[in-house]
Amino acid sequence: MKAILSVLVLAASSVAMTAPAKAADPCEQVLCLYGVMTTGNIASGCSGPVGDYFNIIEKKHGSFLPDHTSRKRKKQLDKCSSAGSDVVEKINNKFGRLRGL
pLDDT digits (tens, 9 = 90+) for 13-64: 444 444 445 568 999 999 999 999 999 999 999 999 999 999 999 999 999 9
pLDDT recorded at residue 12:
44
For the chain, what is the total number of helices (H) and then of strands (E)? Answer: 5, 2
pLDDT digits (tens, 9 = 90+) for 60-89: 999 999 999 999 999 999 999 999 999 999
What amino acid is encoded at 45 in this protein?
G
pLDDT recorded at residue 24:
80
- What's the pTM value of the predicted model, to 2 decimals? 0.75
42: which residues sit within 8 A by CB, 6+ positions away?
A: 32, 35, 36, 50, 101
